[in-house]
Chain A
């Protein structure tokens, strides 16, 4: 059983579209992280959430602790947003979702 479930696994969007990636988890957590991984492997931390909502540029992340659910939104998507987005939750260690592979077509 995977502690963290992400959907969708793959997503193709046209440039400019609004994108939503969902993450559900089954354990009590101290924080939830959204990570971005580009081809080649480098991982960048996008957001760290323990409650509410955070915004950074065109990216918005929300979390509902009661429902154990988080969403990552990308507004006005751009080809440079093409990457794998990974949800990770921290309990005593990190548990990772399987990732969502996003391709934004010009």
Chain B
């Protein structure tokens, strides 16, 4: 089975712009979660989608949004980019939303905001 894929892998944007990141889960996985990783804050949960519905949301401003399509692929969008949004954005897929489901991580998208 193919693993979790994320596109693009690297991205450079300017403050004020918006960005859309994409995540394709492992075939058969219906849950996709997004995470932000920075040197200062470590890994932080952004949101989780299951069957096209947002199930949980972390403590991030409304500039961060996401969606999931019927084929379980997911996108996250960050509007009005700030320098502090520079981070590695990771998505992970799993069979379900229960904590007892193993998470499979993608390689991440490294976003640099200048």
Q: Which residues of A contact B (CB under 8 A)?
A: 29-31, 33, 35, 41-45, 48, 50, 86, 88-99
Chain B, interface size category, equals 20 to 34
Which of B67-75, B77-85, B95-103 lines the interface with chain A? B95-103
A90 touching B99, Cβ below 8 Å = yes
Q: Which residues of B contact A (CB under 8 A)?
A: 33, 35, 37, 42-45, 48, 56-58, 88, 90, 92, 98-105, 107-108, 110
B105 touching A44, Cβ below 8 Å = yes
Q: How many A-B residue pairs have CB under 8 A?
A: 59
B99 touching A86, Cβ below 8 Å = no
What are 19 A-B residue pairs whose CB atoms fall within 8 Å in the complex? Answer: A30-B100, A31-B98, A33-B102, A35-B105, A41-B90, A41-B107, A43-B92, A43-B105, A44-B105, A45-B102, A45-B104, A48-B101, A86-B42, A88-B43, A89-B99, A94-B33, A94-B99, A94-B103, A96-B44
Return B30 CB to nearest CB of chain A, in Å: 17
